[in-house]
């Protein structure tokens, strides 16, 4: 079974295309977890416990752990181990470098942390992605058309008869020999997301940008149809509530997102 098949099967089984972003902010942790030995892990665990049957995929963004220093890395490792085998865990790292260095980053993601998949930046071309793809059972989501406003600075520029992001999508199609290459495309620009799907019909799409960033989940789901996809919400789920019922609030937000996608 390829990574793409595994992702599609888990979405079918869980009847959901929801990816829960696990991006903890120390100053927004609910009071209920602040007394724990490892408050960041306790928060993540509570969110996972409340959403596991609704979410085939979790996605910690490494930046939020890296900014906490060593305790952050420890919380992240515990989080990955906690979810392992019960959902797909994507390390949102956006790493990318020349071959030998990319190999070190791939080892960090897939061996040190044990992520099922990771996000990578392909600005440096095939070299920067190949060492990740060499882990044939892991997913590699290449940053393609991002959800932020300044994505257009480079990604929308025309190169020949394509945009830069379409060129990245075309390259990713050629890199998909093991069925483990996917693309990141934001929900905030559904027309561009549709172009990504058109260029890369069968590739898994990881779609951030709903919730705090304002993307429309239904429009994104329609644009992404035709291949496996998950739509990721971080702040919209994790910070749906900050009282003692924060986990139930997160569950309600995840349920709403699942249903919005299903209705589309």
Options 59, 77, 78, 94, the catalytic residue:
94
Nearer to a copy of itself, 127 or 216 (CB): 127
Nearer to a copy of itself, 51 or 188 (CB): 188
250 vs 29, 45, 51, 240, CA distance in Å?
Answer: 13, 12, 7, 5
Pairing mode of beta strands 158-159, 162-163: antiparallel
- Chain residues in the site for a copy of itself (CB under 8 A): 23, 61, 63-64, 66-70, 73-74, 77, 94-99, 101-102, 104-105, 107-108, 111-112, 121-128, 143, 146-155, 157-160, 164, 167-168, 171, 213
Q: Are 71 and 102 in contact (CB under 8 A)?
A: no
Q: How far is the CB of 61 from a copy of itself (least distance, A)?
A: 6
Q: How far is the CB of 135 from a copy of itself (least distance, A)?
A: 13
3-state secondary structure of 117: strand
Cα(57)–Cα(96) distance, rounded to whole angstroms?
A: 23
Q: For this structure, is 94 an active site residue?
A: yes
Q: How far is the CB of 130 from a copy of itself (least distance, A)?
A: 8
3-state secondary structure of 35: coil
Cα(232)–Cα(146) distance, rounded to whole angstroms?
A: 13
Burial category of 94 from C-beta neighbours within 10 Å (exposed 0-12, middle 13-18, buried 19 and up): middle
User: Within a 13 Å sphere around the CA of 41, how many CA atoms are in the beta-carbon half?
Assistant: 16
Nearer to a copy of itself, 21 or 228 (CB): 21
Q: How far is the CB of 88 from a copy of itself (least distance, A)?
A: 20
3-state secondary structure of 253: helix
Q: How far is the CB of 228 from a copy of itself (least distance, A)?
A: 23
Burial category of 74 from C-beta neighbours within 10 Å (exposed 0-12, middle 13-18, buried 19 and up): middle
Overall residue count recorded for the chain in this entry: 264
Nearer to a copy of itself, 16 or 155 (CB): 155
Nearer to a copy of itself, 102 or 223 (CB): 102
- Residues recognised as catalytic: 94
């Amino acid at each position: 079974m390829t990574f793409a098949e595994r992702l599609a099967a888990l979405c079918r089984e869980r009847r959901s295309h929801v990816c829960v972003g696990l991006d903890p902010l120390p100053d927004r942790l609910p009071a209920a977890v602040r007394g724990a030995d490892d408050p960041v892990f306790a928060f993540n665990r509570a969110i996972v416990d409340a959403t596991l049957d609704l979410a085939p995929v979790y996605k910690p963004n490494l930046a939020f752990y890296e900014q906490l220093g060593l305790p952050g890395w420890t919380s992240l490792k515990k989080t990955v181990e906690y979810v392992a085998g019960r959902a797909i865990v994507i390390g949102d790292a956006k790493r990318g470098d020349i071959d030998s260095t990319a190999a070190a980053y791939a080892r960090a993601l897939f061996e040190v942390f044990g992520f099922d998949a990771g996000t990578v930046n392909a600005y440096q071309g095939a070299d920067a992605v190949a060492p990740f793809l060499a882990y044939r059972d892991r997913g590699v989501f290449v940053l393609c058309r991002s959800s932020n406003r300044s994505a257009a600075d480079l990604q929308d520029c025309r190169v020949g008869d394509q945009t830069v992001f379409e060129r990245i999508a075309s390259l990713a199609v050629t890199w998909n020999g093991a069925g483990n290459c996917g693309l990141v495309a934001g929900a905030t620009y559904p027309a561009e997301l549709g172009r990504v799907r058109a260029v890369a019909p069968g590739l898994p799409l990881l779609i951030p940008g709903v919730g705090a960033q304002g993307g429309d989940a239904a429009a994104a789901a329609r644009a992404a149809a035709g291949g496996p996809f998950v739509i990721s919400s971080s702040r919209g789920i994790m910070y749906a509530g900050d009282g003692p019922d924060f986990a139930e609030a997160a569950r309600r937000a995840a349920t709403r997102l699942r249903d919005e996608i299903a209705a589309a």
